[in-house]
Structure formats: structure tokens, C-alpha cells
């Protein structure tokens, strides 16, 4: 198996990566949003709850 980041042979210690560096590069890509599933943003906004327990919170009022 080859490393998905650089293509070198994977090291069993860091599988599927070849090194800690490549594992960290992959983690950084996840954390900064480089890996995304394409979709319609409007659909996500309609399903996302906007307040505690899905209740709408009026703008400008503290929780």
C-alpha cells in the first residue's frame, strides 16, 4: 500500500501513511476543511438547528 499523501510505501506504525509528517498533513487538511463532500449549502442550512434543542434564537438577544 502506498501513502495517500506522497505515494511512498506505507509504514505499519503510521498506516496508511509513510510517516508522522504525512499523517499530520492529512489531519491538517481535515481540520482546515480541504476535504469536503460536495453538496448544496442551502440544504445544510435548512436542517441545522439554530438554537438550543433546535429552537430559533431571536437575533440580538443573549442566551
Annotated binding site for Zn(2+): 3, 6, 18, 22
Residue that the C-alpha cell 498506516 belongs to:
15
Annotated binding-site residues read 3, 6, 18, 22
Please list, in sequence order, all residues whose beta carbon lies within 8 angstroms of the beta carbon of residue 15, skipping any fewer than 6 positions away.
1
Listed in sequence order, the DSSP H helices in the chain are 20-31, 41-47
Contact (Cβ atoms closer than 8 angstroms) between residue 62 and residue 52: no
Amino acid at each position: 500500500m502506498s501513502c495517500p499523501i506522497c505515494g511512498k510505501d506505507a509504514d505499519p506504525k503510521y498506516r496508511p501513511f509513510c510517516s508522522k509528517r504525512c499523517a499530520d498533513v492529512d489531519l491538517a487538511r481535515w481540520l482546515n476543511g480541504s476535504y469536503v463532500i460536495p453538496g448544496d449549502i442551502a440544504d445544510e442550512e435548512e436542517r441545522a438547528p439554530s438554537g438550543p434543542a433546535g429552537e430559533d434564537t431571536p437575533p440580538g438577544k443573549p442566551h
